[in-house]
Structure 1
Amino acid sequence: MPIAATPAGTDRVRTELDGVFARAGVEGFVHARDLDTGAEFGHRADDRVVLASVFKIPIVLEYARQSAAGQLDPAARHTVTSAYRAGGSGTDGCLYDVEMSARDLAFMMMTISDNAATDLLLDIVGPDRVRTLLDGLGFTGFGVSSCHTLDDDIRRELGLAPGSSIDDQLAGIPEERLLALGVNDPHRSPSSTPREVTALLAAIWRDEAGPAQACAEVRSIMSAQVWQHRLACGFPETGVRIAGKTGTDFAIRNEAGVVEYPDGRRYAVGVFLRSARVAGRQPHADRAIGRAARTVIDHLRT
């Protein structure tokens, strides 16, 4: 059983988190766990939260498991065609077809959150296999979807033209309509709880989510994520290693990952935010993720 972290400073930490979120103008949900002692700390940790691209973690895990089992050739070539591209980061924004290996699709999905690479990889490994994996590990509440499906839902809700970039059609749509979209609602979009997300990370880091080779590959890929403006900004010290996955969609700002200190102690942490705004740039919210993660991990370390 996990050990609840209950030092005298618990109330102070909750007050500090409330302040971090209030100053950033967001609603926040957090969970952190010490991967070696089982100590944990949560702030609304059992509320359901929208995962956004955090749902890509079990997809890369299923890829790595199939690769380790010899069921999938990581070097096999696959083509990201226009059927997958919607305009975004990585291959998702390319004008022409891109060919790459299954392993590199996984790398693009996790390091820069490439949605086209995600959907092609999901087709390769099989959505049913990802669902079976999660259910088998006990994460029955952890939601997964293709990015294309989520985009189609947005188009239907807003009455946008099918097959065209969503971003190019948002001008003039009132913010209240964007905030009301299903992708911002944990009951209508892939969701989980902060506690469940850190439990999945813990299983990967402890080699309990599959063969050791598969878990090691997931850890390696997640450690190469390029974004430094959320979780990483809370841990500027030399020698602190971070592996994570961000998630962003209109009002949603997330990151979940593992923070490893030079002394060998490791912490899985997930910070999930819902903003009252839909602006693409929300630096105060982004920094709040790092500050909240640092606050709860400092608490566990003391």
Structure 2
Amino acid sequence: MNTESLLRDLREELDDGGLRGSFLVRDLHTGQEIGLDADLEFPSASLVKVPLAAATFERIRRGELDGATRLDVEPGRVTTPGPAGLARFRHPARVAIDDLLYLSVAVSDGTAADALFALTPPAEVTRMLREWGIDGVSVRHDTAELADTPAERFEPGEVHLAHALAIRAGTAGRGHPVSQLDVSRASAGSARAYVALLEALWRPSEIDPGVAARTRDLMAHNLLRQRLTPDFGSDATKWSSKTGTLLNLRHEIGVAEHADGQVFAVGALTESRVPAAIQPEAEILMARVARTMRDHLRSR
């Protein structure tokens, strides 16, 4: 099947499943790529924890921070809700910067990320991205803001109402009354922009090699593996990734390193029209679309 026909079929498959997305797969050795609305911007959600980690590692490299420095995280001071990590702690904790980095990326711990943002604010992370030549990813707020959405104002059995609001209130220009879903106000990026970041972390670039290596290592130990991992991870493939989730948004970026030497960067950013918080079918669909694109590129 030629590329044009394949992309048409994949777009229809996504639409039938209630998804709209920005997808890009790039061969990091040849530069060949295949994309589907690859320049369409989405709010980034937890994907921003990757540039935050890289920026923090860079400041450690420069001597501005010490990874062994322990920070006090007090209940009631850094209070980003989350399913795992420091947000679930009942008592004060003292955690080293290096360990906050692990929690932020590998466990997607928002409380850990916000402790790091207190050291390196979003505007500084964006400035460093621009220094590295990454122009399409913007970091505009910490992760605490991601918790202040309509979902927090509904009872657990009414979360679908928050998702319905998220789905219906968006504008054609990607604006939204919920600031975290407005690409002009939220941290945002496209599949192409995040694949550019991945390429800068996996290939020689303006990012210091040691900084890139440490960031890659955190992504390799990502514990949230229900989304693209089933279609990309295997005994013959190392899959390093980061997910992002907010209301009807489900994202994942990652790099597949195959035993035969091929290396592919993958960006899959999606929004759902289905008003439900738990949608395993959507995650299966986005993974299948991304894998099909990778397989097509790999067979060229």
User: TM-score of the superposition, structure 1-length normalised?
Assistant: 0.87
- Letter of the 1:194 counterpart: A
Q: Aligned to 1:86, which of 80, 93, 98? A: 80
State the distance in 2 between where 1:278 and 1:51 align. Answer: 19
Q: Aligned to 1:141, which of 133, 136, 142? A: 136
- Letter of the 1:85 counterpart: T
State the distance in 1 between where 2:49 and 2:119 align. Answer: 14
Q: Aligned to 2:222, which of 221, 225, 240? A: 225
Identify if the C-alpha distance between structure 1 residues 116 and 221 changes in structure 2 by more than 3 Å, giving closer, same or farther: same
Q: Determine helix, strand or coil for the equivalent of 1:259.
A: strand
Deviation for aligned residue 1:185? 3.3
Q: Determine helix, strand or coil for the equivalent of 2:119.
A: helix
Q: Aligned to 2:68, which of 65, 68, 75? A: 75
Identify if the C-alpha distance between structure 1 residues 274 and 264 changes in structure 2 by more than 3 Å, giving closer, same or farther: same
Q: Aligned to 1:285, which of 282, 286, 292? A: 282
Q: Aligned to 1:122, which of 117, 126, 143? A: 117
The answer on 1:112 being equivalent to 2:100 is: no
State the distance in 1 between where 2:18 and 2:182 align. Answer: 18
**Identity, % of aligned pairs?**
29
Q: Determine helix, strand or coil for the equivalent of 1:270.
A: strand
- Letter of the 2:145 counterpart: T
Cα deviation code 1:108-166 (max 9, x no counterpart) = 111121111011111123434312111212333312120123434x3xxx5x9xxxxx3
Deviation for aligned residue 1:25? 1.8
Instruction: Report what 1:42 is aligned to.
Output: 35
The answer on 1:266 being equivalent to 2:259 is: no
State the distance in 2 between where 1:284 and 1:121 align. Answer: 34
Instruction: Report what 1:163 is aligned to.
Output: none
Q: Aligned to 2:20, which of 13, 24, 27? A: 27
Cα deviation code 1:244-298 (max 9, x no counterpart) = 1100000100000111110111111100110113422110111123212211111
The answer on 1:97 being equivalent to 2:92 is: yes
Gaps of 5+ in 1: 1-7, 161-165
CA contact (8 A) 1:49 1:272 kept: yes
Deviation for aligned residue 1:19? 4.2
Instruction: Report what 2:2 is aligned to.
Output: 9
Identify if the C-alpha distance between structure 1 residues 210 and 248 changes in structure 2 by more than 3 Å, giving closer, same or farther: same
Identify if the C-alpha distance between structure 1 residues 228 and 78 changes in structure 2 by more than 3 Å, giving closer, same or farther: same
CA contact (8 A) 2:46 2:245 kept: yes
State the distance in 2 between where 1:236 and 1:208 align. Answer: 26
Q: Determine helix, strand or coil for the equivalent of 1:125.
A: coil
Q: Determine helix, strand or coil for the equivalent of 1:14.
A: helix
Identify if the C-alpha distance between structure 1 residues 218 and 207 changes in structure 2 by more than 3 Å, giving closer, same or farther: farther
User: TM-score of the superposition, structure 2-length normalised?
Assistant: 0.88
Identify if the C-alpha distance between structure 1 residues 106 and 167 changes in structure 2 by more than 3 Å, giving closer, same or farther: farther
Aligned residue pairs, count: 285
Moved more, 235-244 or 170-179: 170-179
Q: Determine helix, strand or coil for the equivalent of 2:118.
A: helix
Deviation for aligned residue 1:170? 6.1
Identify if the C-alpha distance between structure 1 residues 49 and 128 changes in structure 2 by more than 3 Å, giving closer, same or farther: closer
State the distance in 2 between where 1:36 and 1:260 align. Answer: 11
State the distance in 2 between where 1:236 and 1:23 align. Answer: 26
**Superposition map of 1:117-196 within 5 A:** 117-144=112-139, 145-152=141-148, 154=149, 158=150, 166=152, 172=158, 174-175=161-162, 176-179=164-167, 180=169, 181-196=178-193
Instruction: Report what 2:210 is aligned to.
Output: 213
Gaps of 5+ in 2: 170-177
Deviation for aligned residue 1:236? 4.8
Deviation for aligned residue 1:209? 4.1
Identify if the C-alpha distance between structure 1 residues 171 and 188 changes in structure 2 by more than 3 Å, giving closer, same or farther: farther
Cα deviation code 1:45-94 (max 9, x no counterpart) = 01112211111111000111122222211111012222212331211222
